[in-house]
A and B are shown apart, each in its own frame.
Chain A
Amino acid sequence: MSTFKNLGFLGKCLGVRSYVFQFRFRAKDFPIIPGLIIFLFIFMACFGEFLAPYSATEGNLQDKFLPPFFQANGSMTHPLGTDMMGRDMLSRIMVGARPSFIVVLTVIILGGFGGTALGIISGYKGGTADVVLMRVVDVTIAFPIILAAMLLSVVFGPSIQNVIISISVIIWSRYARVIRGEVLSVKEKDFVSQARVAGCSGLRIMLRHIFPNVVNTMLVMLTLQVGSIIILEASLSFLGAGIPAPTPVWGSMIAKGREYITIAWWIPFFPGFALALVCLSFNILGDWLREAMDPKLRQI
Chain B
Amino acid sequence: MSILLEVKGLKKYFPVRRGLIFAKAGNWIKAVDGNSFSIEEGQTFGLVGESGCGKTTTSKVILLLEEPTAGSILFRGKEISKLRGKELRQFRSSVQAVFQDPFSSLNPRMRIGSIVSEPFVVNTTLSKKEIHKRVEEILAQVGLNPDTARLYPHEFSGGQRQRIALARSLIVHPSLVVLDEPVSALDVSIQGQIMNLLKDLQAGLGLAYLLITHNLATVRYMSHQIGVMYLGKIVELGPVEQVYGKRLHPYTKALFSAALPSHPDLVKDEIVLPGEVPSALAPPPGCRFHPRCSSAIQICSKVEPELRKVDPDHYAACHLC
Q: What residues make up the interface of A, taking CB atoms closer than 8 Å to B?
A: 12, 15, 18, 21, 131, 189-191, 193-201, 204, 208-209, 212-213
Contacts and interface: CB of A to CB of B under 8 A. Distances in A.
Contacts of B108: 18, 213
B21 A190 contact: no
A189 B89 contact: no
Contacts of B35: none
Interface in B108-123: 108-110, 114-115, 118-119, 122-123
A197 B106 contact: no
B168 A213 contact: no
A122 to B, nearest CB: 15
**Size class of the contact patch on chain B:** 20 to 34
B97 A194 contact: yes
A199 B89 contact: yes
Contacts of A195: 107, 118
A197 B63 contact: yes
Nearest to B114: A12
A15 B152 CA distance: 11
Contacts of B96: 197-198
B209 to A, nearest CB: 15
Contacts of A200: 118, 122
B27 interface: no
Contacts, number: 71
17 contacts: A15-B110, A190-B99, A191-B104, A193-B63, A194-B97, A194-B105, A194-B168, A196-B64, A197-B65, A198-B119, A198-B168, A199-B92, A209-B107, A212-B110, A213-B107, A213-B108, A213-B109
A14 to B, nearest CB: 9
A-B residue pairs, 9 tightest by C-beta: A199-B92, A198-B119, A190-B105, A212-B109, A15-B109, A190-B99, A189-B104, A191-B107, A190-B104
Contacts of B89: 199
Contacts of A198: 92, 96, 118-119, 122-123, 168, 172
Nearest to B123: A199
Contacts of B21: 131
A15 B109 CA distance: 6
Contacts of A15: 109-110
B162 to A, nearest CB: 11
Contacts of B123: 198-199
Nearest to A191: B107
B101 interface: yes
A131 to B, nearest CB: 6
Contact of B122 (A189, A191, A193, A199): A199
Contact of A197 (B92, B100, B101, B109): B92
Contacts of A196: 64-65
A191 B92 contact: no
A198 B168 CA distance: 9
Contacts of A213: 107-109
Nearest to A212: B109
Contacts of A208: 107, 110
A196 B66 CA distance: 11
Given A190-B99, A190-B104, A199-B119, 5 more contacts: A195-B107, A199-B89, A201-B122, A212-B110, A213-B109
B65 A191 contact: no
A190 B101 contact: yes
A204 B65 contact: no
B95 to A, nearest CB: 8
B90 to A, nearest CB: 10
A191 B262 CA distance: 35
Contacts of B118: 195, 198, 200
Contact of A18 (B92, B93, B104, B109): B109
Contacts of A193: 60, 63, 65, 97, 99
Nearest to A188: B104
Nearest to A198: B119
Nearest to B99: A190
A191 B88 CA distance: 20
A191 B152 contact: no
- Of B96, B104, B168, which is in contact with the most chain A CB atoms at under 10 Å from its CB? B104
Nearest to B103: A190
